[in-house]
């Protein structure tokens, strides 16, 4: 029994790790951090192996949460640097004028952020996002629409401020 569990986990790792790590890489812009996040997602899956019915979904949702934590940690670090005054010499653009999609996605509420990450960044169909999040396909479609509208409005405001 243990041998088949290890074999199944090993096969899953070989099949999914490269794509999961690549997805994380696009989100965090750093190879090492992406691999850490993907590895941590697999570690957490392994700890719950017997209770997880959909391993792929578990991995992507876990990784999305780890990416969010990474983004939050970076933002806390940026704020701490600004408070310390050392960033003044670097003269960064004000956050309001930075229409970075990553920052905008990070700012979305979790109910909108997770479907955006899974659908657009992990290339999962709406049907699969629905199954992974436990929400109806219509709800996922509505959440994706709402998220796109929020992102579009914020990008417009950012562009207006930079003119």
Q: Each residue's pLDDT tens digit in the chain (163 positions)?
A: 566 878 888 899 999 999 999 999 988 988 999 999 999 999 999 999 889 888 988 999 999 999 988 988 888 777 766 666 544 444 444 444 455 777 788 888 888 988 888 888 877 889 988 888 889 999 999 999 999 898 888 888 777 765 5
Report yes or no: 38 and 20 within 8 Å, Cβ to Cβ: yes
pLDDT at residue 79 in the model: 72
Report yes or no: 21 and 34 within 8 Å, Cβ to Cβ: yes
Report yes or no: 102 and 71 within 8 Å, Cβ to Cβ: yes
pLDDT at residue 100 in the model: 74
Using a cut of 0.95, tell me whether the model's pTM lies above it.
Answer: no
pLDDT at residue 38 in the model: 95
Give a three-class secondary structure readout of 87-144: HHHHCCCCHHHCCCHHHHHHHCCHHHHHHHHHHHHCCCCHHHHHHHHCCCHHHHHHHH
CA distances from 93 to 3, 12, 27, 37, 96 (A): 55, 43, 21, 28, 8
């Amino acid at each position: 029994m243990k041998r088949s569990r290890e074999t199944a986990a090993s096969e899953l790792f070989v099949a999914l790790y490269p794509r999961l790590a690549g997805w994380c890489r696009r989100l965090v812009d750093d190879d090492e951090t992406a691999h850490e996040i993907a590895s941590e997602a697999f570690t957490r899956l392994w700890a719950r192996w017997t209770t997880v019915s959909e391993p792929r979904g578990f991995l992507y949702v876990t990784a999305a949460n780890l990416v969010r934590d990474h983004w939050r940690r970076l933002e806390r670090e940026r704020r701490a640097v600004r408070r310390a005054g050392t960033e003044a010499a670097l003269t960064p653009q004000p956050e309001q004028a930075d229409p970075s999609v990553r920052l905008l996605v990070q700012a979305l509420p979790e109910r909108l952020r997770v479907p955006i990450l899974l659908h657009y960044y992990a290339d999962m169909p709406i049907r699969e996002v629905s199954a992974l999040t436990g929400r109806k396909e219509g709800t996922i479609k509505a959440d994706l629409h709402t998220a796109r509208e929020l992102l579009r409005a914020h990008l417009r405001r950012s562009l207006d401020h930079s003119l």
